[in-house]
Amino acid sequence: MFKKVLMAAVAAMSVAACASPYVATPYDRAAMPVRTITVMDDAAEDNAIAYEVASIGRNFGLIGALVDAGIQAERQSAVNKALDSVSFDGETVFEHRLASRLTSEGYQVAVRENAPRDKRAFVVTYPSADGTADAYLDIVVAHHGYLSAGAFQPFRPSAAAQVRLVSASDPTKILMDNRIVYNGMTTADAGVITLTPNPSYEFKNREELLADPAKMAAGIEDALNQIADTAAQLLR
């Protein structure tokens, strides 16, 4: 399970890249009769990541890989305990920011609680149209937390999301689709929006990261806020 989460964290924005190139679907507000948007909640994993991409242990065969997995898991556990100590909830932060920014763009916004979805997956069956929304904004936050390029390299905030707007009357009609990556550790496909990490939230090592839970949380919040702001800007 841990391995699956890590792989999703560093490669989620490249899923199916081998099958066909990623092509974004831009939004044309002037051509779309969308005034009210329902944001589908439960968009993100409960836990933040804390992953070292090119760790030393992975160079020493199966035993090294097992030891590395244990170290990565222990670090992630420590980071999430620290975030719990300051009552940080990344999903709530993200959804509140997104709703606020969409409202400022002139939309009427509601958040659909308990959206029927698996983590890191789009909603399979959208609610039947009842006139309360013109479109559903479905966002998958593939990961949020901290990444390091390798041993002795700093940890920086990282987050990635795929943003999709579908018609409420016909959910098979995709009105907008885009991918947003904040400090990704893999080469982004053409068309993916990439955001540069804020240097204010760089930590030299694990010890420095864990020493200031409030600052650690603020770094993730900043990353999620930037993704939420970018998502809202796509609907201008």
pLDDT in 10s for each residue of the chain, 236 residues: 444 444 444 444 333 334 467 889 999 999 999 999 999 998 888 899 999 986 655 554 555 555 577 888 999 999 999 999 999 999 999 999 999 999 999 999 999 887 778 777 899 999 999 999 999 999 999 999 999 998 889 999 999 999 999 999 999 999 999 999 999 877 677 789 999 999 999 999 999 999 999 999 999 999 999 999 999 999 99
User: Structure pTM?
Assistant: 0.86
**How many helical (H) and strand (E) elements, i.e. helices and strands, does the chain have?**
5, 7
Domain that holds residue 97: 2-233
Both tokens of 65, joined, read 């890989």
3-state secondary structure of 25: strand
- Give CA–CA dist 136/162, Å, rounded: 14
What are the backbone angles phi and psi of residue 43, rounded to the nearest 5°?
A: -85, -20
- Give CA–CA dist 93/224, Å, rounded: 8
Helices marked H in the chain: 2-11, 61-85, 90-104, 206-211, 213-233
In the chain, the number of structural domains is 1
- Give CA–CA dist 39/207, Å, rounded: 37
